[in-house]
Amino acid sequence: METHYEILNVSENASHDQIKARFQQLILLHHPDRNGSSPNDKQAQRILEAWEVLRDPTRRKQYDAELSARQAAVSNGEVDLDDMIYDEDNQSFSLRCRCSGVYTITEDELEQGIDTVCCDNCSLQIHVLYDVLEEEEPIQSKS
């Protein structure tokens, strides 16, 4: 389920002005009167609902608390990348979930900074801990 922040495509620590500017852009883009889409199109309604919550400081604070509680409730903890099984063919790391599902993260995802993985069978997720190693420059010999 998308959060209000995802619907408006802003970060959770975006300022009120940033949220307002993004809302205005999106509502103009998706409003049925402006783009000729069907009045039954739900995107404009979702944008309005997100704005209604995030524009009010009290409602936003309550929403943030609910989001935080929801995220904490489904987390299955932190796992070190070294504790996961590496699949060379798929260039991915995996770990069995307690529900018998599998958490899988690829090298590409890790390189993109993605470090949270959902189980493929249930709603649990893990945070993968790893260190980014910088490639060393080759030592050039002096001639």
Final residue before a domain boundary, out of 70, 95, 114: 70
pLDDT at 97 > cutoff 70: yes
3-state DSSP of 38-58? CCCCCHHHHHHHHHHHHCCHH
Determine the Cα–Cα distance for residues 91 and 95; give it in Å rounded to an integer: 14
List strand residue ranges (DSSP E) for 1-143, in order. Answer: 75-80, 85-87, 92-96, 102-106, 116-118, 125-129
The structure tokens listed for 105 are: 């993260």
CATH of the domain at 106: 3.10.660.10
> Tens digit of pLDDT for each residue in 15-57?
999 999 999 999 988 877 776 666 556 888 899 999 999 999 9
Q: 62 and 93 share a domain? A: no
Q: What is the pTM of this model?
A: 0.50
Say whether both 17 and 66 belong to one domain. yes
Supply the range of the domain harboring residue 124.
75-129
Residue 119 CA, distance from chain mean position: 15
